[in-house]
């Protein structure tokens, strides 16, 4: 098991373009989380899945954001019509539903720069 | 709303010395977990240590230990025998028992000096 993988590591895009990020969790983990980390801040919760079901979305996740986890495996996070305020590190993490209190395993993140 | 406060944006420590990072939090709940995560430059966040609120005994993991003061809502991290590899951003985080969401502090950037 290689841990949580995120692709790409870096993405530079022009304002108004759409971008999609991918996260591959640890295979036996049924929970998958997305967080956003802006400069000088701690990560903030965006959304989470249990298996293929998206169970909660933060108010931070505007209508331009959508996340999917087909078949309860990998997940994608899409941002439509990107804005400069979307520039951030997007972190994915996974865990077992029964073991959230033991912490998540995080990926290395995707750093998005909107120019 | 629950908050986690890390009042030290940056700290430095000499190699082999001991350093303590501060964290305070605000909650009215009784059952929760507290965590310290380490985020090295351009690398993934790694769990350093966790504490269950109902346990009075402070958690330890090798060179890392915590001072958990529940009444004061304080959760500091002590790093003993600091090593160059400890250079990283350190985040304190809070999670309610039975939930799934972290509330993170703003982090403390620690630099270990040779």
pLDDT at A18 over 80: yes
Position B98 scores a pLDDT of 74
Q: How confident is the model at residue B48 (pLDDT cuts 50, 70, 90)?
A: very high
A85 touches B at CB < 8 Å: no
pLDDT band for position A100 (50/70/90)? Answer: low
Residue of A nearest to B41 (CA): A108
Cβ pairs A/B, distance under 8 A: 53
CA distance B47 to chain A (A): 7
In whole angstroms, give the CA distance from residue A79 to residue B96. 29
CA pair distance A3, A7, nearest whole angstrom? 13
Residue scoring higher pLDDT (A103 or B57): B57
Give the torsion through C-alpha atoms of A54, A57, A61, A62, to 10 deg. 90
Looking only at Cα atoms, what is the longest distance across chain B?
A: 42
Tokens representing A67 are 């996340």
Asked if the C-beta of B11 comes within 8 angstroms of chain A's C-beta atoms, the answer is no
Check residue A81 and give its pLDDT: 97
CB B105 within 8 A of CB B91: yes
Provide, as residue numbers in chain B, all residues whose Cβ is less than 8 Å from the Cβ of A44. Answer: 104
Nearest CB partner across the interface for B100, out of A3, A31, A107: A31
The residue length of chain A stands at: 115
The predicted-structure confidence for B50-105, as pLDDT tens digits, reads as follows 999 998 899 999 999 999 999 999 999 999 999 999 999 999 999 988 778 899 99
Give me chain A's average pLDDT, please.
93
Distance of alpha carbon A95 from alpha carbon A101, whole angstroms: 10
Do B107 and B6 meet the contact criterion of CB atoms below 8 Å apart?
A: yes
Evaluate if residue A109 carries a pLDDT over 70.
yes
Q: Specify the pairing of strand A31-37 against strand A19-24.
A: unpaired
CA distances from A109 to A40, A63, A80, B45 (A): 16, 22, 19, 9
For residues A33 and B100, the answer to whether their CB atoms sit within 8 Å is yes
Put simply, whether B4 touches A (Cβ < 8 Å) is: yes
Q: What is residue A66's predicted lDDT score, i.e. its pLDDT? A: 95
Interface test with B, best of A39, A42, A49, A57 (most B CBs within 10 A): A42
Token representation of residue B65: 């230990």
The verdict on A98 touching B (C-beta cutoff 8 Å) is no
Distance, in Å, from the CA atom of A33 to the CA atom of B78, rounded to the nearest integer, reads 29
Q: How far is CA B52 from CA B30, B59, B70, B96, in A?
A: 10, 9, 10, 10
- Judging contacts by C-beta atoms under 8 Å, the chain B residues touching residue A56 are 101
Tell me whether A101 touches chain B (CB under 8 Å).
Answer: yes
Q: Would you place residue B1 in the very low, low, confident or very high pLDDT band (cuts 50, 70, 90)?
A: low
Residue numbers in B near A40 (CB within 8 A): 106-107
């Amino acid at each position: 098991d290689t841990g949580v993988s995120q692709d790409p590591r870096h993405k530079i895009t022009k304002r108004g373009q759409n971008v999609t990020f991918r996260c591959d969790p640890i295979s036996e983990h049924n929970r998958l989380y997305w967080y956003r980390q802006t400069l000088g801040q701690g990560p903030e919760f965006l959304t989470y899945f249990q298996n293929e079901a998206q169970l909660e979305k933060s108010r931070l996740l505007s209508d331009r954001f959508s996340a999917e986890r087909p078949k309860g495996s990998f997940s994608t996070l899409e941002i439509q019509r990107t804005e400069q305020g979307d520039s951030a590190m997007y972190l994915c993490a996974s865990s077992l539903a029964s073991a959230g209190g033991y912490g998540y395993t995080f990926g290395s993140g995707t750093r998005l720069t909107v120019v | 709303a629950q908050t986690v406060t890390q009042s030290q944006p940056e700290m430095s420590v000499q190699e082999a010395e001991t350093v303590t990072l501060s964290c305070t939090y605000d909650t009215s709940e009784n059952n929760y977990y507290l965590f310290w995560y380490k985020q090295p430059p351009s690398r993934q966040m790694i769990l350093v240590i966790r504490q269950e609120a109902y346990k009075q005994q402070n958690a330890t993991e090798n060179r890392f230990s915590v001072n958990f003061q529940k009444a004061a809502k304080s959760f500091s991290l002590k790093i003993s025998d600091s090593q160059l590899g400890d250079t990283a951003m350190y985040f304190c985080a809070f999670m309610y028992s039975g939930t799934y969401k972290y509330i993170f502090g703003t982090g403390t950037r620690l630099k270990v000096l040779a």
